[in-house]
Structure 1
């Protein structure tokens, strides 16, 4: 009985680590790993010496605040993942894709190449930013992103400051879009498979043609 119970617990843990949650998908992708409401502490270093060095050696772009006074996102200042300039989210204007992820989330890692490919092709029209959310090991998130060729800017929200607002993450990955009029909408809950899928969802949600 004890052995069976232990096996069951192990199976559940493996499912969570693999990103097999139960949140519904908005666009047909796989579900993400469920998240707690909010971590108890935001005292996580998102720019250790090792992270700064790794980012410097990569092609990840520098974080740069936008020029808007209120582009539609909440006024929350987030540090740059791996070091760099922090940014007030309210300074960003749409159209914009915002991807919420974590380093140990399997679907997050699997969709990174799709988001990067979309960014390389359409980033001049619809930029992409990543936000490592409620993650106590942001170094892993940065490493996973770099290893998958991600170059778009990435921020961090270790303390869950976004929770309860328009960018709430009940599971990861979760991707939102910000329209040019400042409207924030969920693009996809769960991993996306290709740049074509990202493009299709963005066009449908924003009512644009890329």
Structure 2
């Protein structure tokens, strides 16, 4: 009887250990709510790792945002230029209007680019928008409007120009032409296209 009780106890312990070590996550999978969990996100440019830097007074906010595609979260305060950051959403008509100008700027390779999908309830449509418009640069997600106060975002679109020292100039509203965007890049970042 003692042997049977001991065997039963051991069986329960082994079963408990097996169940405790099992989970729904497979090796190499992430439990992130962004990235590859959104259909098509693997087609987006991956977010790079960024070295930690001290925030600057007139720079980007000390906010970390997750990548819409693959890659790590990015702390905005770590970023330095020349860099163009475009705040957009797939539901924003003017964002669609200016997308070809941003895609062309990205293809030039003269400045780094970063997109921020802002207050967007449909990440799968955001991925489709970025892919369809040829926005071949990393994109972050700001579903909770973390940048709203620091960058005074009334809504998208908004384009920020970050210089080599981390100082930021913000253009609010839609970009109306390639010439306008190229001139802003020249004036704010000193980069001629």
* TM-score bracket for this pair, using the shorter chain length: 0.7 to 0.9
CA RMSD, Structure 1 to Structure 2 (Å): 2.1
Higher RCO, 1 or 2 (CA under 8 Å, sep at least 6)? 1
Residue 129 of structure 1 is aligned with which of 105, 114, 128?
114
Residue 174 of structure 1 is aligned with which of 125, 134, 158?
158
Contact 1:65 1:91 in 2 (8 A): no
Residue 162 of structure 1 is aligned with which of 147, 162, 165?
147
TM-score, normalised to structure 1, is 0.68
Q: How many pairs were matched up? A: 159
Partner of residue 107, structure 2: 120
Partner of residue 8, structure 2: none
Q: Decide whether aligned partners of structure 1 residues 209 and 83 sit closer, same or farther in structure 2, where only a CA change above 3 A counts.
A: closer
Distance in 1, Cα, partners of 2:45 & 2:36: 17
TM-score, normalised to structure 2, is 0.74
Distance in 2, Cα, partners of 1:194 & 1:118: 12
Partner of residue 40, structure 1: none
Partner of residue 61, structure 1: 45
Partner of residue 209, structure 1: 192
Q: Of Structure 1 and Structure 2, which has the larger fraction of its residues in helix?
A: 2
Q: Decide whether aligned partners of structure 1 residues 65 and 116 sit closer, same or farther in structure 2, where only a CA change above 3 A counts.
A: same
Larger Rg: 2
Structure 2 unpaired stretches of 5+: 1-31
